[in-house]
Structures are given as C-alpha cells and as structure tokens.
Amino acid sequence: MDKNIFITDLDHTLLKSDQSISEFTKKTINEICKNHLFTVATARSFHKVQEFLADIELNAPMILLDGTMVVTNEKKIIDLKLITKDVADAIIFEGSKIGIYPFIIGLEDSGMEEIFWYPKILNDYQKDVLKNYKNDPRLQLKDPMSAMNRVLKIVYFGTLEILAPLTTHFKTVFQDSLEYKLSPEKYGGGWFLTILHPQGDKSHAITKVLEYIDFSHQNLTVFGDSINDIEMFKLANISIAVANALDEVKKEANMILSHSNDEDGVAKYLSQFITKD
C-alpha cells in the first residue's frame, strides 16, 4: 500500500462551524496516522491548533498562520516567512490614513512564543473577533499601534467597501513585495485582508513540508474551502473541496465532497484509507 500525506485546512473544512471536532473525525484521523501522514495547513496559530486537535496525533509538520510558519509537534521550526518591522510599520501607517488599524501576529524575539497585538481603535468586526480570544495570554493591547520585530502576518477586518480599496492601495504602494489575501469572513460576517511575506502561503509551506519528510507531490492530497487554499490545490496531486467550500475553490478542486465540514466530510473521505485488520 502506498503511503500518502493528507493535508487539510481547519476552519470550515475539518472543524465544524462551531469550531468543534467530532469523535468520528478524531478516531478516523488517528487511524489514518497509523499508515499515512496527516497534518494541517491553517491560518491558525500553534497554540490554537494544539487546542483544537488535542486528541489527534499529527505525524507531519504543521503549516500555520497561512503558511508563514512550518513547525513540528515538538516545536521545531522548519521555516519562517517574516515581514520586516520597517515594512510592517509602513503598512500600519498607510492604513491609519483612513482610520483603520490591523491586528499584528508575530513571535517573541527568540523562540516561537506567539504574540497577538491589537489596536486601541477597533471597528465592530474587530471587536467580534476579539471575543473569541478572551483570556488568551498572547493577546496584548498595543497603543500606539506598531509592529514587533518578527511579524508573521497583518490582518485587517471590516467591510468590503473599505478593505477592497485598501487592498488596491497597498498593492500600489508595496507592489509584489507582499502577499495580499482578501476574503469573506464566514464566522462573524464582513471581510478580512491578510498581508503576508510574498512566500508566506500554503503552497510554499507545503513544498517545505514535502522536502522535510522527503515525500512526492504525487502522494499529496489536500482539503480546503477558502481562497487561501487555492494555491495548495494547484500543487497537490489530489485537491478536494468540502461541500460548503466557496464556488471559486470548487472550480479549482479535483473533487467536491458531498458532505460539508458539519457532516465530517474530510473524515468520511479518509475512512476509505483505513486498513482493516
């Protein structure tokens, strides 16, 4: 039997809409890991992945924070794609011209302890996001807003009417020195703009993972639902969209599941690869 590597997005793909994971999915993945490799490619941090997948033993490096970090379960950093502090501060300044400030996610000056800085001036969408991080030890108010030394990503939340022209403005000012991802926010409504290192995406990160474990793209299957999954769809041998995926994502997929994230779509697909004793 060929050994495969399965890489899945988390939110709205593996996780249910309430951000939980079913016992069926947990059991299925742990069975899969006995004969194959399984990991995640997510916008979430190491801290959050450990929280969500506490009962799952991932056996390949994780792709975190949209692809800006590749790290093992043992916290060995394989790859980092950082935005310099000077550039990050320049991004903050450009947004401040229209009165909008971002969340800044980065690392302490040494090691991989995560920092999540938020501004004093918040719009309603940002306030809703912060509710999900209540009592999170990484969360810190930064006033006046500026960047840490090791920035992984910068995220703006708001309406499309504000963020679309802001994205265009950033592209004019910073051009291709950065990666820009503008997407709808499925949990709380509104839109979000994520700004990354130009190679801080899931596709580049997957290449790093495959190099690290010495695996071929021909044995790679990926699962996703959103815009930031499209590039890894193009890289994989088999790309699979859950039933609830965005239409743009389904167009790029080799396969569309008949089940959604709330119906254990990924796990039901994976169950065919479990070896029966």
Annotate 121-144 with b (16+ C-beta within 10 A) or e (fewer): ebbebbebbbeeeeeeeeeeebee
Mean pLDDT of 137-155: 94
Residue 1 has pLDDT above 60, yes or no: no
Q: Is the pTM of this model over 0.85?
A: yes
Of 118, 59, 71, nearest to 92 (Cα)? 118
Distance CA 121, CA 132 (A): 18
Residue 188 has pLDDT above 70, yes or no: no
Distance CA 5, CA 190 (A): 34
Residue 277 has pLDDT above 50, yes or no: no
- Which class is 5-80+200-273 in CATH? alpha beta
Residues of the chain within CATH 3.30.1240.10 domain(s) are: 85-196
Residue 9 has pLDDT above 80, yes or no: yes
Mean pLDDT of 8-20: 95
DSSP 41: B
Mean per-residue pLDDT over the chain, rounded: 93
| Fold topology of 85-196 | 3.30.1240
Residues of the chain within CATH 3.40.50.1000 domain(s) are: 5-80+200-273
The answer for residues whose C-beta is within 8 angstroms of residue 110's C-beta and 6 or more apart is none
Tell me whether the omega of the peptide bond preceding residue 144 falls within 30 degrees of 0, making it cis: yes
Location of structure tokens 């474990």: 213
Distance CA 147, CA 150 (A): 8
Of 172, 176, 182, 227, nearest to 198 (Cα)? 176
Looking at 78-87, 128-137, 156-165, 259-268, which range is the least confident one? 128-137
Residue 212 has pLDDT above 60, yes or no: yes
Quick one: pLDDT band at residue 132, thresholds 50, 70, 90? confident
Q: For 77-97, give the secondary structure using H, E and C.
A: EEEECCECHHHHHHHHHHHHC
